[in-house]
Amino acid sequence: MSRVKARSICYLMRMCFRVPPRSLAPILGLSLSVACGSSDGNSTSTQATDGGGDAAARYAAFCADDAAATCDAIASCCNMTVDACRSAEETICLSAGPDFSGPGVEFNSASAQACIAGAPTVISNCAYAPTSSPEYQATLAACRNIIVGTLSLGSECTTGASCPPAQPGSVVFCKSDSSGVSRCTAAPLLREGDPCDSTTLYDCASGLYCDVGNTPLKCTALKASGDTCSHANECISQICTNSTCVEPSLDAYCQTLKSN
């Protein structure tokens, strides 16, 4: 049986970091990524950052708060002590964060607080709310805005987390230019059926993914739970197990916690 990739608050953030998604906080069963940002004009985000502080330390404090909020909700569901749950969840959260060593990576406390505050709304009776629910989506939006890049377009970069938020209808990457130097680069979001970029796979508009099963690659509608999949990025839920898109599973995330 293939391994389920459980999602959490931390997973939500990695969706913005554009690194291989890993769990953050299970409450959402989501993922948080940081390597680029995109905006299709259908949502807004708060870009204010704390400034002048240690982003890595602030993120570490967030992970501790995330672990407390998460485990207060799920420790008993997972048949774990609260302390064991918190230790595992904090470790997962820290491992999912971006590289703070380079310039331009800032922490957004307001979004972090909203992310944690939303956690209890997406789990009830030891089960996640549907990923399509307003509560799940609102918390996802907050969790994806915890890390904000402050470099300008065209600046040299080492990670997409340091690049500026995208304007409506665009996506921003840390991408090598013709001279081989990585710079913060903007590109328009692509629509369904448009050919997509094999070097990023993240330039399709909201609700789409870059289908590597097509030649040439093209933006294709995300798949609903129950549809056949090859990779998690094909699914609305961002979880593909046993070649099927599935909703987040708290049982699967409990196993992830116990293995840490």
Q: Read off the pLDDT of residues 118-147 as tens digits, 9 standing for 90 and up.
A: 877 777 788 888 777 888 888 888 888 898
Burial (Cβ within 10 Å: 0-12, 13-18, ≥19) of residue 138: middle
Give the H/E segment covering residue 107: strand 105-107
* Short-list 150, 154, 166, CA closest to 16: 166
Lowest mean pLDDT of 6-15, 56-65, 163-172, 199-208, name the range.
6-15
- Check residues 159 and 193 and name the one with the higher pLDDT: 193
Residue in the structure block whose two tokens are 């789990």: 123
* End-to-end CA gap in the chain: 20
* pLDDT-based confidence at residue 34 (cuts at 50, 70, 90): very low
Task: Give the list of residues 6+ apart from residue 104 with CB closer than 8 angstroms, or none.
Answer: 149, 150, 151, 155, 157, 162, 163
Give me the torsion for CA of 195, 6, 161, 187, rounded to 10°. Answer: 10
Q: How far is CA 235 from the centre of its chain?
A: 14
Tally DSSP H helices, then E strands, for the chain: 6, 12
* pLDDT-based confidence at residue 165 (cuts at 50, 70, 90): confident
Supply the pLDDT for residue 31: 38
Report the mean per-residue pLDDT for the chain.
78
| pLDDT above 90 (res 36) | no
| pLDDT above 80 (res 175) | yes
CB atoms within 10 A of CB 176: 12
pLDDT tens digits, 52-96: 458 899 999 999 998 998 898 899 999 999 999 999 999 999 988
CB atoms within 10 A of CB 119: 26
Q: What gap in Å lies between CA 39 and CA 165, rounded to an integer?
A: 8
- Tell me what the mean pLDDT of segment 176-191 comes to: 91
* pLDDT-based confidence at residue 35 (cuts at 50, 70, 90): very low
CB atoms within 10 A of CB 191: 11
- Check residues 212 and 30 and name the one with the higher pLDDT: 212
* Short-list 245, 246, 233, CA closest to 207: 233
- Tell me what the mean pLDDT of segment 172-184 comes to: 90
User: What are the residue boundaries of the structural domains of the chain, listed by start?
Assistant: 9-188+248-258
- Tell me what the mean pLDDT of segment 33-46 comes to: 46
| pLDDT above 60 (res 20) | no
pLDDT tens digits, 195-241: 987 776 668 898 999 998 878 899 999 999 999 999 888 998 888 88
* pLDDT-based confidence at residue 14 (cuts at 50, 70, 90): very low
Q: What gap in Å lies between CA 22 and CA 5, rounded to an integer?
A: 8
Six-digit token string for 229: 């999949």
Six-digit token string for 73: 């909700």
pTM of the full structure:
0.70
